[in-house]
Amino acid sequence: MTTRLSLFNSPLLLGFDQFERTLDRIAKNSAEGYPPYNIEQIGDDGLRITLAVAGFTSDDLSVQIEDNQLVIRGRQTDDKSRVYLHRGIAARQFQRSFVLAEGIEVVGCSLDNGLLNIDLTRPMPEPKVRTIKIEQPKKTAAGAMPRTIDVSADGRDD
């Protein structure tokens, strides 16, 4: 049995279990090496992911968003009518995934000269400030405020 050390074990970090699962997915996907890709900053709020998918047509590729994850799949089919004397370029399939932060949207996708470009926008969030009302303790039926009774270690009320 292996014990896994979590970065989010602190009691001060509440509700970060989703981030932990996201980091696990990223670590699993980082081992994949095909197809190679670039991520570029386009303007102030734009990103572009470019994948090198030479030999794939737009019919061979699919781009989907699944649970805040951008998933690109490629599947080539063998052309049975061709007779190869040497085959150094294999028809291969792939799946490449990118975890998207909350609010990132895909705004476009294009295939040009063997490069699949996926454009994303990252809208800047508006800063939010919310005041939480501090409520007073409720009065009992007799109209008195509830009180705290301290009990000492010897069992007597003080």
Side chain identity at residue 2, one-letter code: T
Provide the 10 A C-beta neighbour count for residue 98.
Answer: 19
CATH number of the domain where residue 45 is located: 2.60.40.790
What value does the mean pLDDT take over residues 32-53? 90
pLDDT value at 1 more than 90: no
DSSP 119-130: EEE-PPPPP---
What is the pTM (predicted TM-score) of this model? 0.62
| Domain annotation covers residue 2 | no
* Three-class SS state of 114: coil
User: Considering its fold, how many domains does the chain have in total?
Assistant: 1
| Structural domain contains residue 151 | no
| Dist CA 116 CA 118 (whole Å) | 7
Residue 9 lies in a domain: no
Give me the pLDDT at residue 80, please.
Answer: 83
Assess whether pLDDT exceeds 90 at residue 88.
no
Q: Is 148 a domain residue?
A: no
pLDDT in tens, 102-157: 889 999 999 999 999 999 998 877 888 999 999 887 776 666 666 667 676 665 55
Domain that holds residue 63: 34-78+90-121
pLDDT mean over 45-61: 93
pLDDT at 59: 93
In a domain, 157, yes or no: no
Answer whether residue 22 is part of any domain.
no
Residue 46 CB-half CA count within 13 A: 8
Residue 140 within a domain: no
